[in-house]
Amino acid sequence: MNKSVQGQVVLITGAARGIGAETARVLARRGASVSLVGMEPDLLRALAEELSAATTQKHAWFEADVTDQAAIEAAVAGTVAELGGIDAVVANAGVANNGTVAVNPADALVRTVDVNLNGVIRTVSAALPHVEQRKGYVLVVASLAAFTVLPGMAAYCASKAGAEAFANVLRLEVAHKGVRVGSAHPGWIDTDLVRDTEDDLKTFRQARNKLPGPLGSTTSVEACAEAFADGIQRRRRKVYVPRSLVWFSLLRTLTISPIGDLIIKHEAKKMVPAMEAEVRALGRSFGSATVAAGGDERVVAERAEQRKSVPTA
C-alpha cells in the first residue's frame, strides 16, 4: 500500500536528534505535520521552528520521557489538540548501555529495557485509540539487534527482540480495525548513540569492524530516515536498513545456534575481558550524550564540534 503522508499527522518519539529528527524532516518535506516528542526541549523547539520555517504545515513539540505514562499521554493529548489527530506513530526513543551484564549496575540494564521496550508499549498504548480512529499506522523501531547477538549488548538485544515481538502481536490485534503495524530494523546508523559507544569502547568498535557485510557497515542517518519515511508511507510490515539485512533476519536461527555460539565465543574470550576493563575505567554505563539515562544535551553539541575538528581521511 502506498499512501501519501500529505496532510497526515505523525507522532515521533526520540525526535530531538538522530533518526527521529531526520525522519521528521523527511516526513515534513513530504507534507506531513509532525509531533516531536523527546527529553531535550531546546533541540525539540529548534527542530519545530526549522520545520515550520521550511514547510507550510503546522508542527508541534512536547517534552516527555517515554517511561513516564502521564508524560507520554500528555504529549499525545497535546498532539491531538494542536494538530487535530494522529495518523501514524513512530516509537523510536532508545538508549544503549555500555558493556556486559557483569560490569553494569542492574539499574542500567533495566533502564535500557525500560526505554526501548516499555517506552514503546507506553507510547503505542497512549496513541493507539487516535491511530485507530484514522485507520493509521504504527512503526515500532526495533533493530538489527532483534535477531543478532553480540557480547556487551544483552539488555539492548533483549529490549529490541521484545519490541519486534510486541509489534508482531499488535499487528494481529488491530488488523481488523484497518490499522497497520510495522517494525523497523536498522543496523549501524551514524547517530550519537553509535558514535558515543565507539568513542567510549575501543573493543566494541573493533568487534563491529569484524562483522561481515551489512552487519558491520554504517548507514547515514539521512538514508535511514528516507527508508523509515517510505515504510510509513507504504505502511510496511518490516523496514530493514539497509535492505540486505532481511537475509540475516531470515537466518536468525543460525545466529543463535550452537554454530553461531562457537564463532562468537572464539572472539569473546579476548573481547569481553578487554571491554569490561574499558567500562570499569570509563566509570559510567551510558554514553555521555544519552539524555534519557542522565546525560546532558549540551554534551551533544560539544561532541559534535569535537568531531568536526577531527580531519577526515
Predicted confidence pLDDT, tens digits, the chain (313 residues): 667 999 999 999 999 999 999 999 999 999 999 999 999 999 999 999 999 999 999 999 999 999 999 999 999 999 999 999 999 999 999 999 999 999 999 999 999 999 999 999 999 999 999 999 999 999 999 999 999 998 999 999 999 999 999 999 999 999 999 999 999 999 999 998 888 888 888 887 888 888 878 888 899 999 999 999 999 999 999 999 999 999 989 988 887 788 878 888 888 899 999 999 999 999 999 987 787 655 443 444 444 444 344 443 3
Q: Is 240 a catalytic residue?
A: no
Q: Match domain 9-308 to its CATH number in 3.40.50.300, 3.40.50.720, 3.40.1080.10, 3.40.1010.10.
A: 3.40.50.720
What local confidence, expressed as pLDDT, does residue 199 receive? 86
Please identify which of the residues 61, 62, 137, 156 carries the catalytic annotation.
156
pTM of the model: 0.90
What local confidence, expressed as pLDDT, does residue 299 receive? 40
Q: Got the DSSP string for the chain?
A: -----TT-EEEEES-SSHHHHHHHHHHHHTT-EEEEEES-HHHHHHHHHHHHHH-SS--EEEE--TT-HHHHHHHHHHHHHHHS--SEEEE-----B-S-TTTS-HHHHHHHHIIIIIHHHHHHHHHHHHHHHTT-EEEEE--GGGS---TT-HHHHHHHHHHHHHHHHHHHHHGGGT-EEEEEEE-EESSHHHHHHHHH-HHHHHHHHTS-GGGT-EE-HHHHHHHHHHHHHHT-SEEEESTTHHHHHHTHHHHTSHHHHHHHHHHHHHHHHHHHHHHHHHT-SB-TT-GGGT--HHHHHHHHHHHHTSPP-
